Structure 1
Amino acid sequence: MLHSRLLTYVDEVARTGSIRQAASHLNVAASAISRQILALETQLGTPIFQRLPRKLILTAAGEILIGHIRQTLKELSRAQAKIEELKGLRRGEITLAMMSGLASNLVPGTVKQFRTANPRVKLVLTLLATGEAIQTAVASGEADLGIGFDFAKDNNLKVLARANGHLGAVMAPDHPLAKRASIRLSDCIDYPLVIADRSSAIRPYLDSAFAKLSLDPQPVIETNAIEIMRHAAILDNGITFLTPFDIEFERRAGRLVYVPVRELSHDAQTLILIGHQRGSSAIASVLTEMLKTTMMSELIS
């Protein structure tokens, strides 16, 4: 704070051209400002003000210094504003755009943790159908953050976190294949299959893997809703194909298990958390860190 006070003194003298006027504006003694500036000039080994009969003007060294001072004061002001937000002195609002599959799994646990720590902050959680829609919402400022799979590169957006999740077989804990360490796609064919439809980012991986094995799966359900895929696996003794991120809640509750599939071991969807290139508020940064932690812990668990 002593350092910022000195910067403020120099800035105000440069603006007013007078130590007395600066002292009046800042409500401090002129002698205190004068002492601080003289001490700074001694430390630098050169004057920063040229002292004319009725005005002080910056020297060449002073011009260099004042640019640094004003930038530092701006950064300090931004930092103080963010600290105020973190202290809960402002209510704030964060909009998070997400893909539907994450709405009942990875995101809710993080939201609960965030709300406990920041009860005065309003969260707006928006489901969007495609990655493109999420990216557009963040780029336009309609959303502060976006989370989803396999986003395309966009120079207006910053990748805040990423984690790869391998597709695997998902089934109820009492399914005949549930206890295996890994399975093959051919093991799944004799059971009811619940498969993502062709609008889903998951489907190309499955089509490629089945085609390489010359297998022709006949799904009992084909859907673009991950919620339906999860529930069908629980209730109909079926098998579906998802990443660990898609079933985080059900896994922890013991309602579904994830079994690696050998033919899908090299196929991964990338879960990506994005923000605008210009940055976000301090309170949005707190949510970002919590989401990062959840993403990484889900890979480890």
Structure 2
Amino acid sequence: MLHSRLLNYVDEVARTGSIRKAASHLNVAASAISRQILALETEIGTPLFQRLPRKLVLTAAGEVLIGHIRQTLKDLSRARDKIEELKGLRRGEITVAMMSGLASNLVPGTVKQFRAANPRVVLHLTLLTTGEDIQSAVATGEADLGIGFDFTKDGNLKTLARAVGRLGATMAPNHPLAKRSQIRLSDCVDYPLVIADQSTAIRPYLDTAFARAALEPQAAIQTNAIEIMRNAAIVDNAITFLTPFDIEFERRAGRLVYIPVRELAQETQTLMLVGHQRGTSAIASVLAEMLKTMMREASA
């Protein structure tokens, strides 16, 4: 506090050109400001101000120092703002851009936990179709955080966390294949298949795997909605292909099971949490830490 007080003294004298005016603006004694500045000049070994008859003007050394002082005061102000956010003294808002499948599965539990600890913070959860859209939202500042699969490299973004999930077969617990420890794609084609459509990040992996197995799947449903894939597997006795991240909630509730598929053993998707390269607000960083924990637990 003593350090920041001195910096404010020097800054205000430089702005007003007068110790008396600075003292009035800061509501302190002029003698206190004069004493502090003289002590600083003695420590540095050179005057910071030219004492003209009617005004104080920065010397060359003063010009060098004032840039450092003002940047330090800005940094201190930002640090105080973040501390105030963490103390819950501000309401704050956070925008998270995400793929739709995550919004009804992994993320809600984390949101509930965050809201319980930070009831005055408003969360904006925005569903976007593609990874490119999510990355763009974070890069342009429309979103504080982005979460989705297989983001491409972007110099404006910083990867805060990543977790790898392997594509496998998803089905209801009473499905004939549900008790197996591993299956092949050829085991699946005799049952109704719900397959991600061409607009999804999943589809290229499936196309490669089926082609390698010399199979042409006849999809009962093709969709870009993971919610439809999950629901069809639950109510229609269908098989769909997702990662454990996509069905975490249903697995815990006992509504879906995940079975590794031999031909998909090498096909993984990377769940990624990104923020802007310049950093995020303190309260957004708190949410990011909770999302990191969620990702780590879901991939265990």
TM-score by length of 1: 0.89
Q: How far apart in 1 are the matches of 2:67 and 2:140?
A: 32
Matching residue of 2:163: 163
User: Contact (CA 8 Å) 2:213, 2:263: kept in 1 or not?
Assistant: no
Partner of 1:25: 25
Deviates more, 1:270-279 or 1:260-269: 270-279
Amino acid at match of 2:125: L
Query: Structure 2 unaligned runs (5+)?
Result: none
Secondary structure of 1:266 counterpart: coil
Q: CA deviation at 1:53?
A: 4.3
Find the counterpart in structure 2 of residue 289 from structure 1.
Answer: 289
Counterpart residue number, 1:152: 152
Once the two structures are superposed, the pairs formed by residues 1-301 of structure 1 within 5 Å of their partners are 1-300=1-300
- Superposition RMSD in Å: 2.3
**What SS class does the counterpart of residue 219 from structure 2 fall into?**
coil
How far apart are the structure 2 equivalents of 1:278 and 1:218?
47
Structure 1: distance between partners of 2:33 and 2:179: 76
Asked if structure 1 preserves the Cα contact closer than 8 Å seen for 2:197 and 2:223, the reply is yes
How far apart in 2 are the matches of 1:35 and 1:296? 56
- Whichever residue aligns with residue 283 of structure 2, its letter is I
Which residue identity is paired with 2:228?
Answer: I
- Alpha-carbon distance change, 264 to 37 in structure 1, aligned in 2, over 3 angstroms: same
1:117-154, CA deviations, whole angstroms, 9 ceiling, x for partnerless residues?
Answer: 11122222222222333334334444333322223344
Farther off after superposition, 8-17 or 51-60: 51-60
Q: Relative to structure 2, which stretch is displaced further, 99-108 or 82-91?
A: 82-91
Question: Bigger shift: 13-22 or 72-81?
Answer: 13-22
Q: What TM-score do the two structures reach when normalised by structure 2?
A: 0.89
What do the CA deviations read for 1:210-264 (whole angstroms, capped 9, x no partner)? 1112122223332222112112222333321101111111122122222222322
The number of equivalent residue pairs is 300
Q: How many angstroms apart in 1 are the aligned matches of 2:285 and 2:46?
A: 42
CA 1:43–1:262 in structure 2 vs 1: closer, same or farther (change >3 Å)? farther
Question: Which amino acid counterpart does residue 93 of structure 1 have in structure 2?
Answer: E
Aligned partners of 2:128 and 2:28: how far apart in 1?
55
| Deviates most, 69-78 or 270-279 | 270-279
Q: C-alpha offsets along residues 189-216 of structure 1, whole Å, 9 cap, x if unaligned?
A: 3333222122221111011011112122
Structure 1 residue runs of 5 or longer lacking an equivalent are: none
